[in-house]
């Protein structure tokens, strides 16, 4: 007899990652760091090969201390994970019961849906305005007792952000026992005044936590390393549901080196800032709408006209060795998400889109 999984699990659509790039093609489908990773982190990763026979420190203490020092926060309230994905999953495992409600923004990161469904919870999306989280709509959607509200600030795949004052208004308007998870995967890229420091929210409110990642600004996506900062009671719970050695030893050592390499972080931010502006301007000049982005990608909108639509553009770019991300699964069938790449890759994207627009 076929073994039956828990009800609802077979309704989950497995997450489809950004397409891999065939030999010679450029991968701009997963918002990875265009500059690679810190050379110091790569060196630390190589040195870790000397002691792979040893279990990692299950509490990742040295890494948590380094993050705490860099961010000016308490090390005891940090938990590290195998990517922030793992931490998002652990939050669901710890707090969601079947039938609970989880609220996200209309174009929220797909993993929130997985987290909800894995626990048998319902996910409800709050309509956005102009591809941007709308706090009133989130409050309205969450008022019937949402267990968790997820908001990525800034958000993937839209690239938009909301000011700290708006996140505070959200927190203050939510029921006190609703857990607010602010996903800061792209936080380091944001230089807008008004964005604030999301980690401060954790100190100022109960039942509020922030997740962060080494995958984007530090360019360590392949190692799977993320962290969360939360109130003591939630941190205590997450430690109970995580695997004893959930972060591997090379990730801890590379992460330690990465967090101390401020020069690499600065280079990454500068490269990104320059190219997000340039890509937005150049693609708009071709007649396409580009959602203003503070992340390391841009969301480009195409007309519905057959042959001129997003899927045609996707195929056109792929034929030229440029692999980008269709965002149909997010409910954006007429858009493509294009990660910022190296100088040459970005120029190639602009040229290819120009050729597509003229074709």
Ligand X SMILES: Cc1ncc(COP(=O)(O)O)c(C=O)c1O
Least distance CB 326 / ligand X (angstroms): 15
CA nearest 335: which of 296, 298, 287? 298
CA nearest 99: which of 207, 4, 234, 8? 8
Least distance CB 108 / ligand X (angstroms): 8
Indicate the residue among 56 and 83 with the shorter CB distance to ligand X.
Answer: 83
Indicate the residue among 82 and 146 with the shorter CB distance to ligand X.
Answer: 82
Least distance CB 7 / ligand X (angstroms): 27
Least distance CB 193 / ligand X (angstroms): 22
User: Which spans in 286-359 are helix H?
Assistant: 310-319, 343-358
Describe the crossing of helices 39-47 and 249-259 by its angle, rounded to 10 degrees.
150
Between CA 27 and CA 20 the distance in angstroms is: 6
In which residue are the tokens 């993050």 written? 67
Contact residues for 83 (Cβ-Cβ < 8 A; gap 6+): 213, 215, 221, 224, 225, 226
Indicate the residue among 30 and 48 with the shorter CB distance to ligand X.
Answer: 30
Between CA 230 and CA 51 the distance in angstroms is: 32
What is the torsional sign of CA 325, 326, 330, 335?
A: positive
Least distance CB 315 / ligand X (angstroms): 23
Indicate the residue among 86 and 356 with the shorter CB distance to ligand X.
Answer: 86
Contact residues for 263 (Cβ-Cβ < 8 A; gap 6+): none
The residues that touch ligand X, with contacts defined as CB under 6 A, are: 31, 83-85, 109, 152, 156, 183, 185, 213, 215, 221, 226
Least distance CB 215 / ligand X (angstroms): 3
Between CA 258 and CA 40 the distance in angstroms is: 7
Indicate the residue among 154 and 352 with the shorter CB distance to ligand X.
Answer: 154
Least distance CB 237 / ligand X (angstroms): 20
Indicate the residue among 84 and 101 with the shorter CB distance to ligand X.
Answer: 84
Closest residue (Cβ) to ligand X? 83
Indicate the residue among 109 and 356 with the shorter CB distance to ligand X.
Answer: 109
Whether the CB-CB separation of 38 and 345 falls below 8 Å is answered with no
Longest CA pairwise span in the chain (Å): 60
């Amino acid at each position: 007899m076929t073994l039956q999984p828990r009800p609802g699990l077979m309704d989950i659509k497995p997450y489809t990652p950004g397409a891999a790039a065939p030999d010679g093609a450029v991968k701009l489908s997963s918002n990875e760091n265009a500059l690679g990773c810190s050379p110091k982190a790569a060196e630390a990763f190589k040195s870790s090969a000397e002691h792979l026979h040893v279990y990692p420190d299950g509490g990742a203490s040295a890494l948590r201390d380094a993050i705490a020092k860099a961010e000016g926060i308490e090390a005891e309230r940090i938990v590290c994970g195998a990517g922030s994905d793992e931490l998002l999953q652990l939050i669901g495992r710890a707090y969601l019961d079947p039938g609970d409600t989880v609220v996200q923004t209309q174009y929220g990161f797909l993993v929130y849906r997985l987290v909800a469904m894995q626990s048998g919870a319902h996910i409800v999306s709050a309509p956005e305005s102009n591809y941007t989280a709308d706090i009133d709509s989130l409050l309205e959607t969450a008022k019937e007792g949402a267990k968790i509200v997820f908001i990525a600030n800034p958000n993937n795949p839209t690239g938009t952000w909301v000011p700290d004052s708006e996140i505070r208004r959200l927190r203050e308007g939510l029921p006190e026992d609703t857990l607010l998870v602010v996903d800061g995967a792209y936080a380091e890229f944001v230089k807008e005044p008004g964005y604030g420091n999301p980690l401060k929210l954790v100190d100022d409110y109960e039942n509020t936590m922030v997740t962060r990642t080494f995958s984007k600004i530090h360019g360590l996506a392949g190692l799977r390393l993320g962290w969360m900062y939360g109130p003591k009671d939630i941190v205590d719970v997450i430690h109970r549901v995580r695997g004893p050695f959930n972060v591997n030893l090379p990730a801890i050592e590379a992460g330690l080196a990465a967090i101390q390499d401020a020069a690499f972080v600065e280079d990454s931010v500068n490269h990104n800032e320059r190219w997000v502006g340039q890509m937005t301007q150049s693609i708009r000049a071709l007649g396409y709408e580009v959602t203003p982005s503070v992340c390391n990608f841009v969301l480009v909108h195409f007309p519905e006209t057959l042959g001129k639509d997003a899927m045609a553009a996707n195929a056109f770019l792929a034929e030229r060795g440029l692999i980008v991300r269709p965002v149909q699964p997010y409910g954006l069938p007429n858009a493509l998400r294009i990660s910022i790449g190296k100088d040459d890759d970005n120029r190639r994207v602009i040229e290819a889109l120009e050729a597509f627009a003229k074709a």
